[in-house]
Homo-oligomer: A and B are copies of this chain.
Amino acid sequence: MTTLSQVAQHAGVTSATVSNVLRQRGKVGEETRARVLAAVEALGYRPHLTARALAEGSAPTLALMVASIANPFYPEFALAAEQAARQHGRFLIVCNTNDDPDIGRAYLDQIAGTLSDGVLVMNAKLRVDDLKMTQRRGAPVVLGMWEKPHEPPGLPCVAVDFHLAGALAARHLIALGHRKIGILFGGGASCIHSERERGFHDALAELGHSDAVVRIMHVHDSVEGGLSAGAEMLADGLVTAVFATNDLPALGMLHAAADLGIKVPQQLSVIGITDIQSARQARPALTTVALPTEQAAAMSIALLLELIANPSLGSPMRTAEAPQLVVRASTAVVPKRRLKRRSD
Q: Are B50 and A277 in contact (CB under 8 A)?
A: no
Q: Are B96 and A79 in contact (CB under 8 A)?
A: yes
Q: Which of A268-322 contact B (CB under 8 A)?
A: 277-278, 281, 283
Interface pick from A67-75, A144-152, A196-204, A206-214: A67-75
Shortest Cβ distance from A51 into B: residue: B54
Is A111's beta carbon under 8 Å from chain B? yes
Contacts of A93 in B (CB 8 A): 61, 91-94
Bound CA–CA A256/B259 (angstroms): 19
A49-B111, A75-B70, A75-B74 as given contacts; A83 in contact with B96, CB under 8 Å: yes
Contact of A1 among B51, B54, B71, B113 (CB under 8 A): B113
Shortest Cβ distance from A55 into B: residue: B54
Most buried by B among A53, A69, A224, A278: A69
Contacts of A44 in B (CB 8 A): 137
Q: How far is the CB of A131 from chain B (nearest CB, A)?
A: 15
Shortest Cβ distance from A46 into B: residue: B109
Is A82's beta carbon under 8 Å from chain B? yes
Is A180's beta carbon under 8 Å from chain B? no
Q: Are A115 and B78 in contact (CB under 8 A)?
A: no
A50-B53, A70-B79 known; 8 other A-B pairs, CB under 8 Å?
A46-B110, A46-B137, A48-B114, A49-B111, A49-B114, A50-B50, A82-B94, A278-B278
Bound CA–CA A148/B51 (angstroms): 39
Copies in the complex: 2
Interface residue ranges, A against B (CB under 8 Å): 1, 44, 46-51, 53-54, 59-61, 68-72, 74-76, 78-79, 82-83, 91-96, 109-111, 113-115, 137-138, 223-224, 251-252, 254-255, 258-259, 277-278, 281, 283
Contacts of A59 in B (CB 8 A): 50
Q: Are B137 and A49 in contact (CB under 8 A)?
A: no
Q: Are A277 and B70 in contact (CB under 8 A)?
A: yes
Contact of A79 among B68, B79, B110, B254 (CB under 8 A): B68
Q: Are A283 and B283 in contact (CB under 8 A)?
A: yes
Bound CA–CA A339/B111 (angstroms): 63
Q: How far is the CB of A209 from chain B (nearest CB, A)?
A: 31
Q: Are A82 and B110 in contact (CB under 8 A)?
A: no
Contact of A78 among B51, B69, B255, B277 (CB under 8 A): B69
Contacts of A51 in B (CB 8 A): 54, 114
A-B contact pairs, 5 of them (CB 8 A): A46-B137, A72-B277, A75-B75, A83-B96, A93-B94
Most buried by B among A93, A137, A224: A93
Q: Are B60 and A69 in contact (CB under 8 A)?
A: no
Bound CA–CA A113/B46 (angstroms): 10
Contacts of A46 in B (CB 8 A): 109-110, 113-114, 137
Q: Are A75 and B69 in contact (CB under 8 A)?
A: yes
Bound CA–CA A281/B59 (angstroms): 41
Contact of A70 among B54, B76, B254, B259 (CB under 8 A): B76
A50-B59, A278-B278 as given contacts; A96 in contact with B82, CB under 8 Å: yes
